[in-house]
Structure 1
Amino acid sequence: MILVLTCLNDATADMVIGHLNKHDAVVARFDPGADFPADAELSAWFGRASPYGVLTTRSRRIVLEQVRAVYYRRPTPYLPDGPSQVERFAGTQARFGVGEVLAALPCPYVSHPWAITAAEHKPLQLATARRVGFEVPATLITNSVDDARAFADRHGPIVYKPLRATPYTGPDGEPATIWTAEVEPDDLDDTISRTAHLFQARVDKTADLRVTVVGERVFCVRIDSDLLDWRQDYDRLSYTVIEPPTGLADACHAYLGAFGLRFGAFDLALTRDGVPVFLECNPNGQWGWLEDATGLPIAAAIADLLLEEAP
């Protein structure tokens, strides 16, 4: 059995499940944050080298010892918005009960949630990327306005990036996103002292690269646009499938190996000299739209990886 942990309306996971079904794999889909405890029951015993027991959902009876691989995609968070004390307690127990029983299964993950969590932090991403050989823009994380101004003087033009995506409401009351944005010298004022900020030298780029790595397979796409942050408007993007620049595939594999990941979605800026510069790696990033736009067989590669790694 291959276990897919994701939310109900995950079209990207559907693509992978479709390929698994073509191989007649036994697939169970489960969203622990949403399905448990109302629509699922778990009993797991300990006393052997790994947990054993049964997870029962509305449509499946999952014997834990029979799970051979896990695809960890986008499960619902265990804690609801604005929880009461009782909900917070129950959600925490579910996370450290159900979530950690599943994390303790001795089978391959694509990728393990603990590895994904570690790899989501930008400071560790940047340090690891530099260590394995990527070019990395000069970067400063600070709440010192003096150091921010000195950094801008030395490395300008500079950009600002949030350290982590955070729910944000715009002036019109609609959900909004803080994109990578260029910072003018006059923007660097005393409000910097209120929290940590990430400033980075702006890369003089000709294009962006999205490199999706699935196990040993590397899918490299050049993204052309007139945007600083291409995620702002997908309608203004054009895509070209290319071979990875020399050394890039090895650096990507070394990076993922450092975190114990089997998947990564790398974002890089391509300089005028053809050098890919590391910006970030999403350890559980989206790729479905890219397969639709380019025809790259990313879903099939993930399904193949799950089938290959299942002992």
Structure 2
Amino acid sequence: MIVVCGITSDPSTALVIAALDQLGHTHAVLHQRRFEEAPIDAQIVGAHIEGRVLTDLGPIDCASVTGIYSRFMDWTVLPEVCDGPEETVERCRTWHHALSNWIEIAPGCVMNRAGASASNQSKPYQTQLIRQAGFQVPETLVTNDPELVHDFRARHGLLVYKSISSVRSIVQVLNDDADARLPLIRGCPVQFQRLIPGTNVRVHVAAGTVFATRVVTNGLDYRYADRTEFLPWQPPDELAEQCTVLADHLGLPLAGIDLILTDDGQVFCLEVNPNPAFGCYENRTGQPISNAIAVGLERGEGQRSAAVCQVGCSSNPAPCGLPSSAARRPRHA
């Protein structure tokens, strides 16, 4: 049994449901906005959860679930919560807490567990994990000291700045106007990076299958650019394999990896999204990302140890129990 958790109108979630339907895989849906209609009667026994949850297919045994696709939105901003009484807020909180606990320890393939996704809560921490997996990362400074930023800018030239956390921010160049506002960072550390000129590439790794998209844009942050074109791209085998190793290194059966390809052939990794909104890429390129997700959920593929190497461990992932880069070849779309 496969369970899809989230809001069915979300494009990525809708594509996964459609792919499961097309493949004929039995699946249930836990509608996030219908928490009042889907009570959970379960308890943790040892390292397992025993009990049932009510879904659109009726009650299902938690132990029968072998695959979970989880794409939750922030429950605190759901209309049912924002406009509801305190009792509704508490029921929503309790429902999401119970569901999150179940997803975290459920057997089978889970895309993705909160523990593995947590690296994205701290961009500086995730950057160190990315480097451990063998990728180059832009020179980075996290600080609330304007003078350190001036020194960093003098050494590296053009800089960009963005949020340290997983909260979305618009990536912008540190121009003279922004430089004049640097005293404001004393109240909140900011991440600054050397601007890497090149081509944006988004790589989705779904249960070991690699889908790469070249992004042609007229803006620095293509999510907010006036003109953006998504083009399916076949990465070299070595780069595709490196992306699968990175996803495994982070414990993510599903990952959205943001790369920059420079004109002289270098590859830099900017960050890894553990909850990628892949729908816009699939819809604009025709790449069957949702199909790979559905197949992985059915087969239980992509399930890895949730352990993530600590910052101080060797840059070679193999000693930490993670697969070495030579252990397997990636599957291209």
Alignment-derived partner of residue 221 in structure 2:
229
Confirm or deny: 8 A CA contact 2:29 2:55 kept in the other structure.
no
Amino acid at match of 1:191: L
Confirm or deny: 8 A CA contact 2:28 2:55 kept in the other structure.
no
- Secondary structure, aligned partner of 1:222: strand
Q: In structure 2, what is the Cα distance between the partners aligned to 1:30 and 1:125?
A: 30
Alignment-derived partner of residue 184 in structure 1:
175
Confirm or deny: 8 A CA contact 1:125 1:280 kept in the other structure.
yes
Tell me whether 249-258 or 260-269 shows the greater mean CA deviation. Answer: 249-258
- Secondary structure, aligned partner of 2:136: coil
Alignment-derived partner of residue 215 in structure 1:
207
Alignment-derived partner of residue 240 in structure 2:
249
The structural deviation recorded for 1:268 is: 1.2
Alignment-derived partner of residue 39 in structure 1:
37
Q: In structure 2, what is the Cα distance between the partners aligned to 1:46 and 1:281?
A: 31
The structural deviation recorded for 1:120 is: 4.0
Alignment-derived partner of residue 172 in structure 1:
none
The structural deviation recorded for 1:231 is: 0.9
Q: Is the alpha carbon distance of 1:193 and 1:309 closer, same or farther for their aligned partners in structure 2, counting shifts above 3 Å?
A: same
Amino acid at match of 1:201: R
Note the 1:54-69 alignment, pairs <5 A.
Answer: 54-57=52-55, 59-69=57-67
Amino acid at match of 1:221: T
Alignment-derived partner of residue 6 in structure 1:
6
TM-score (norm 1): 0.86
Alignment-derived partner of residue 173 in structure 1:
none
Q: In structure 1, what is the Cα distance between the partners aligned to 2:276 and 2:215?
A: 16
TM-score (norm 2): 0.81
- Secondary structure, aligned partner of 2:48: coil
Tell me whether 138-147 or 11-20 shows the greater mean CA deviation. Answer: 11-20
Q: Which structure 1 segments of 5+ residues have no match? A: 167-176
Amino acid at match of 1:56: L
Alignment-derived partner of residue 309 in structure 1:
300
Confirm or deny: 8 A CA contact 1:222 1:240 kept in the other structure.
yes
Alignment-derived partner of residue 193 in structure 1:
186
1:276-300 C-alpha deviation (Å, 9 max, x unpaired): 2111111111111111211111111
Aligned-pair identity in percent equals: 28
Q: In structure 1, what is the Cα distance between the partners aligned to 2:227 and 2:246?
A: 30
RMSD: 2.5
Confirm or deny: 8 A CA contact 1:71 1:109 kept in the other structure.
yes
Amino acid at match of 1:228: L
Confirm or deny: 8 A CA contact 2:8 2:14 kept in the other structure.
no
The structural deviation recorded for 1:82 is: 9.5
Q: In structure 2, what is the Cα distance between the partners aligned to 1:237 and 1:127?
A: 30
Q: In structure 1, what is the Cα distance between the partners aligned to 2:45 and 2:183?
A: 57
